[in-house]
A and B are shown apart, each in its own frame.
Chain A
Amino acid sequence: MAHPINSRVIAVNGPLVTAEVIRDQEVTMNEVAYVMWNDIPLKSEVIRIRGRLVDIQVFESTTGLKVGDQVDFSRELLSATLGPGILGQIYDGLQNPLNMLENTQGFFLKRGQYVSALDQTKKWDFTPLVAKGDQVKAGHYLGYVPEGIFRHHIMVPLSYAGIGEIVEIAGQGPFAVGETIAVLRNGDSEHFSVTMEQKWPVKMPIRAYNERLLPSRPLLTQCRLIDVFFPLAEGGTACIPGPFGAGKTVLQQIISRYAEADVVLIVACGERAGEVVETIREFPDLEDPKTGKSLMDRTVIICNTSSMPVAAREASIYTGITLGEYFRQIGMKVLLLADSTSRWAQALRESSARMEEIPGEEAFPAYLESRIAALYERAGLVRLYNNETGSLTIVGNVSPAGGNFEEPVTQNTLKVVGAFYGLSRSRSDQRRYPAIDPLISWSLYLRQLEESLSERHPKWVELVEEAQSLLHRGSEVHQMMLVVGEEGISIDDLVVYLKAEAVDAVCLQQDAFDKVERATSKERQVSDFLLLMEMVHHHFSFESKEQAKKEMTNIQNIFFQMKYAPFQEEAYWAYRKEIESILKKGVKSE
């Protein structure tokens, strides 16, 4: 609700508006304000206060604003709305459901239209978990409602201060999100009504849990290059930098479909609307293999695409993360994919430039580093109050200017993430997709998850490291060949190179658009990788380089055919046998 206090616009510079407030008016940093444009309120956020001058960034186009227009301050921080009904939604950066805007606005997004993030009329079937007299605090579960395949826990609002005693709790029955389901009384005998809907300021982390845990389990993405070579941890962080067109978005799209998460949040931040459309249109018809339900049921899309207002782009990532933390509070395994964090950083840069702050490297503000760190710090695996775990994993795309990883956003991101999937132009030019360059990428989780990964094979991590070093050696041989030619290297070196090429072609490269190839289950990853490593360990005795090339091409081709064959079906077994017999034959001939 707005509290008019007669503040006026005194300057307009793009999305940055300066207001002058009356003397002694209290204004809060990051408070929501509304600039009145012909009686239409334009949502904004306070981003700097200097005496009576308050700078606000407007989340809408400022065309048509005049000096003297009224500004209202809401006294509320920019917040996300949390509760049942978020799953399956497509929101803009400020959590307006785009489907609702569609009904009222037609093709184009008009200014100053704000719609409730949650359906206020829908009834949810509430079941209580507490009784009168129980003592509770922020984040404690009061009950739950079924939402899709999940149990959506209803909790004491995260902003509730101190301990409360339950003085009223609703019985089992249907409730809308705005209806009271419990009443709490605090030590000062103040009563507080709890509904299923609550708000949380997006720029503050939610910390209503017992403790943070070290990530120790992999989060399966079904992308082999990630799962086998550079695993992602549940509750961990990763970044995907790469030049344009190298495959960042396709990689995230694939992960959003096939990753083993309970909830997937897709934050389309300053990128193409068309990419979001693919997700919006295709997900409802795709089946989540784990649940048999539509993929959309576990997905939330937050989109501020590149032509939508820049200031709201900055907010969109925070909105996404806040939703992620909320789902973690209800015990979910949450995966957040942001494409791209560079656009978010650019939004910071734009507003910083308008405020005439002293620019740092490449004109980014000096606080870029701390903002990036704070963002990824919100990921994590936590032990909740009920001793169950919840996790938020964050994977951010980075779009470095000129494809050069030395720039500030990439560098500052690399300082804080647990895994780095660097895409290279040369790999994408060669259509070696996903174009993650195995020679520069890393994952701190490979060692960290060793215990869990050893379930795949007792020596799993060692084998992976061996494969990684084979790739490095293969690349060295390749470099050497560029200088001295094939005739200048030994046959053993050539075989190293050919084996590395085979590992690359068979395991690293994965066709995102083939229906078998696009996702590889854990079982298949294990069995195919172990067979591939048998080939790597195998001592071939070739007479000549020509023979080496011919036979290695042959065996690589059989592996290659095998990966397109559905797992454990007839063709798969046939190719596998063929490979096994070649490997056996080789041993005999020695």
Chain B
Amino acid sequence: MIIEHSRITLIQGDIIAVPATGIQYGELAVVKSKRKSSLAQVIRLRGDEVFLQVFAGSRGVATGDQVRFLGHPMQVAFGDAMLGRVFNGSGDPIDGGPNLETLPRLEIGGPSVNPVKRIIPRGFIETRVPMIDVFNPLVESQKLPIFAAAGEPYNQLLSRIGMRADADVVILGGIGMKYDEYLKFRIAFEQAGVLPRTIMFIHTASDPVVERLLVPDMSLAVAEQFGVRGKRVLVLLTDMTAFADAMKEIAISMDQVPSNLGYPGSLYSDLAARYEKAVDFQDAGSITILAVTTMPGDDVTHPVPDNTGYITEGQFYLKNGVIEPFGSLSRLKQLVIGKVTREDHGYIMNSMIRLFAKSRDVEQKLSMGFEKTAEDERYLRYGQLFYERFMDLRVDIGINEALDLGWKTLKECFSADEVGIKQELIDQYWPGTSG
């Protein structure tokens, strides 16, 4: 049943209200103005007043415009024919390819996976970035953001992992993305041969703000369908802060009481609803989510990175062009460390980090003008080697090679009783004087 209405009684921010009856909460509508037509979604019912958020924004919407209710929530096409294709923020193809109207359509933002249908993830994803593989390994079905200030090479890192990850399907959701960035992804994926198994939903910086809201949900709804059909899907979302900001705009237009810096109190739940789509299905495929969360003012305590950090299974903290060991975390690392990877992995990881923390302390101490001891010298050297061999993003080595290099580095700087590793492993792995 399609109902049309043509008396808009309120326009505030990107929200409009129309009098209408029999309308479902969450239902989709088309707002037809002189110059454009836009999708809108019902976000509140009050008596016979219906409030909608207009995805293309309310600019140019007139009180006499037509609102046509579609009788169903937002949907997205699904099928193998989507592979290799590029869509915009409302799910329409923008690559000049054939339209996909014959494909079945599914509702976005579907229900949660029953926790008992999830399994414990066990798949180690080797990225050949030692700061990830050794110190914070990425695990299949993990949800993990890259925290970065503006200007950091987060999209390069994202696309590098996207190419290495060996997923069956890669879905890129661009939210408020610069067009050039989108082209860079496309070129990189094309060169790596990943493009034919990639689907892109691209909302660019020049598209209407509210349309951003749909990108994660569409990307994840499609991912979910591939996942239940046994595919290992990698979803890349950049930038989720732009998504949260769109959320904030809607909340403010609805006069909601903000909880922190204008963001609605539901920010945690809203972000979690998306990130929790990451899953390892029992007897089916998986969804891994790697996202970008830019940090306004490089501040981790800003509500968006802060809420994200609570939701996700760790974060890679990109700062000054490298992944910082402090502040970075993979909460799932223990599922693969020493189980899928070598038994010495966990011990090397902890020891190297502890010593690196110490070398930072020494650096700080010396910067305050204190005398340098012989011991300080060794820590400084260690810190420098650590940077060159592990942190530098140009380093491209596999996990075992990186672990061996770890032992070698420890040995070059310390004696075995200084590294805090249990004897059994020292006996086995500490590089011999001969070797």
Q: Among B54-62, B199-207, B306-314, which stretch is in contact with chain A?
A: B306-314
B371 proximal to A (CB < 8 A) = yes
Q: How far is the CB of A583 from chain B (nearest CB, A)?
A: 18
- Min Cβ gap B175→A in Å is 19
**Which listed residue, B47, B112, B371, B417, touches A67 by the CB 8 Å rule?**
B47
Q: How far is the CA of A64 from the CA of B284 in the complex (A)?
A: 30
A residues within 8 A CB of B315? 245
24 contacts between A and B (CB under 8 A): A11-B44, A12-B25, A61-B111, A65-B25, A90-B115, A101-B114, A106-B114, A109-B113, A270-B268, A276-B115, A277-B119, A303-B115, A306-B269, A307-B277, A308-B112, A349-B259, A356-B257, A362-B259, A399-B310, A401-B260, A429-B326, A429-B357, A513-B346, A554-B417
Q: With contacts A68-B21, A108-B112, A431-B353 known, what are 12 further pairs, Cβ within 8 A?
A: A102-B116, A106-B117, A282-B120, A306-B269, A306-B276, A307-B277, A346-B265, A362-B260, A403-B301, A431-B350, A482-B368, A485-B371
Q: Which of A62, A90, A105, A274 has the most CB of B within 10 A?
A: A274
Q: Chain A: how many interface residues by the 8 Å CB criterion? A: 75
Task: Enumerate the 5 nearest inter-chain pairs by beta-carbon distance, A residue then B residue, closest first.
Answer: A402-B301, A306-B272, A63-B26, A307-B276, A485-B370
Question: Chain B interface (Cβ within 8 Å of chain A)?
Answer: 21-27, 44-48, 73, 109-121, 141, 228, 256-260, 264-266, 268-269, 272-273, 276-277, 279, 281, 284, 301, 303, 306-307, 309-311, 313-315, 326-327, 329, 331-332, 334, 346, 350, 353-354, 357, 365, 368, 370-371, 373, 375, 417-418, 420, 422-423
Q: How near does chain A come to B391, taking the closest CB pair, in angstroms?
A: 16
Binds B, one of A44-52, A288-296, A325-333, A557-565: A557-565
Quick check: is A207 within 8 A (CB to CB) of the other chain?
A: no
**Contact partner of A274 among B110, B313, B418, CB < 8 A?**
B313
Indicate which residue in A14, A99, A549 contacts B116 across the interface (CB closer than 8 Å): A99
Contact assessment for A12 and B119 in the assembled complex, using a CB-CB cutoff below 8 Å: no
CB < 8 Å A-B pair total: 196
Say whether A401 contacts B306, CB under 8 Å. Answer: yes
Pick the contact of B45: A11, A557, A560, A561 (CB < 8 A). A11
Q: Which residue of B lies closest to A98 (CB)?
A: B116
Residues of chain A with a CB closer than 8 A to B329's CB = 245
B259 touches A363 (CB 8 A): yes
Contacts of A402 in B (CB 8 A): 301, 306
Q: Given known contacts A67-B21, A277-B115, A277-B120, is B350 in contact with A429 (CB within 8 Å)? A: no
Is the Cβ of B365 less than 8 Å from the Cβ of A485? yes
Q: A101 → chain B, closest Cβ, in Å?
A: 6
In the complex, whether A499 has a CB less than 8 A from a CB of chain B is no
Q: Are A274 and B121 within 8 A (Cβ)?
A: yes
Q: Which residue of B lies closest to A10 (CB)?
A: B47
Contacts of A98 in B (CB 8 A): 114-116
In the bound assembly, the distance between CA atoms of A245 and B310 in angstroms comes to 7
> Is there contact, CB below 8 Å, between A363 and B257?
yes
Our pick among B120, B279, B313, B371 for the contact of A281 (Cβ within 8 Å) is B120
B276/A560 in contact, CB under 8 A: no
A107 touches B (CB below 8 Å): yes
Query: A379 at the A/B interface (Cβ < 8 Å)?
Result: no
The residues of A that contact B373 with a CB separation of less than 8 Å are 486
By a CB distance below 8 angstroms, the chain A residues around B120 are 277-278, 281-282
In the complex, per-residue mask of A92-115: 1 if CB is within 8 Å of any chain B CB, else 0: 000000110110011111110000
Chain B residue, CB-CB nearest to A301: B115
Kindly provide the distance from the CB of A536 to the nearest chain B CB, expressed in whole angstroms. 20
> What B residues does A64 contact at CB under 8 A?
24-27, 73
Please measure, in the bound complex, the distance between the C-alpha atom of A507 and the C-alpha atom of B22, giving whole angstroms.
66
- Count chain A CB atoms within 10 A of each CB in B119, B272, B314, B353 and give the residue with the most: B272
Chain A residues, Cβ within 8 Å of B109: 63
Contact indicator A431/B116 (Cβ below 8 Å): no
In A338-383, the 8 Å CB interface with B consists of 343, 346, 349-350, 353, 356, 359, 362-363
B21 touches A350 (CB 8 A): no
Q: Which of A10, A107, A243 contacts B281 (CB 8 A)?
A: A107
Tell me if A568 counts as interface (CB < 8 A to partner B): no
Whether A350 contacts B265 by the Cβ 8 Å rule is: yes
Residue of A nearest to B374 (CB): A546
Taking a contact as CB atoms closer than 8 A, the residue among A109, A403, A487, A505 that contacts B114 in the complex is: A109
User: Would you list which residues of chain A between 247 and 281 have a CB under 8 Å from chain B?
Assistant: 270, 272-274, 276-278, 280-281
